[in-house]
A and B are shown apart, each in its own frame.
Chain A
Amino acid sequence: AQSVTQLDSQVPVFEEAPVELRCNYSSSVSVYLFWYVQYPNQGLQLLLKYLSGSTLVKGINGFEAEFNKSQTSFHLRKPSVHISDTAEYFCAVSDRGGTASKLTFGTGTRLQVTL
């Protein structure tokens, strides 16, 4: 079984400040890792994914995340946020291989960017 923990339910930050959204996971097998963003009343959009290779992954809208296997973490970062980054962010994992491709999501972190 897998689980994803997003420790911060809300993160307030001023515009142009850096931000880190934390994600830890637990799994008995190797996983792929994802970050999704959800704007109000919309579906989820993929920000970035870690499949293999370099542990630093760059995504859309200036976001990046670092996979840390020893700490089972996949924290999302952005060096300078914009008002338009205000949204809900979800970390997710899925099993490597086989057909078990369902995603297991964390409970989400609401990023609130203010002036």
Chain B
Amino acid sequence: KAGVTQTPRYLIKTRGQQVTLSCSPISGHRSVSWYQQTPGQGLQFLFEYFSETQRNKGNFPGRFSGRQFSNSRSEMNVSTLELGDSALYLCASSFNPGQGDETQYFGPGTRLLVL
């Protein structure tokens, strides 16, 4: 099976702009989670989508949003970008979380630089 893919891999934006990142999960996986990775804060959970519904949300401002489509592909959007949003954004997919199959497989990430 193909692994989790993310596009784009690299992105440069300026403050105030918005950005949309995409994640395609492993075929058959219905859950997609998003994480932000920075040197200072480490890996932090953003949100999780399962069957097109947001099931969990981390402690990030409302500028961070996401959605999931019927084919399980997911997008996350960050509006009004700030310098502190510069990070590696990772998505992870899993088959059936909370039902004994929680293993999350990560994508390669999208590295976002905000200038």
Chain B binds chain A: no
**Taking beta carbons and an 8 Å cutoff, which residues of A are in contact with B?**
none
**Taking beta carbons and an 8 Å cutoff, which residues of B are in contact with A?**
none
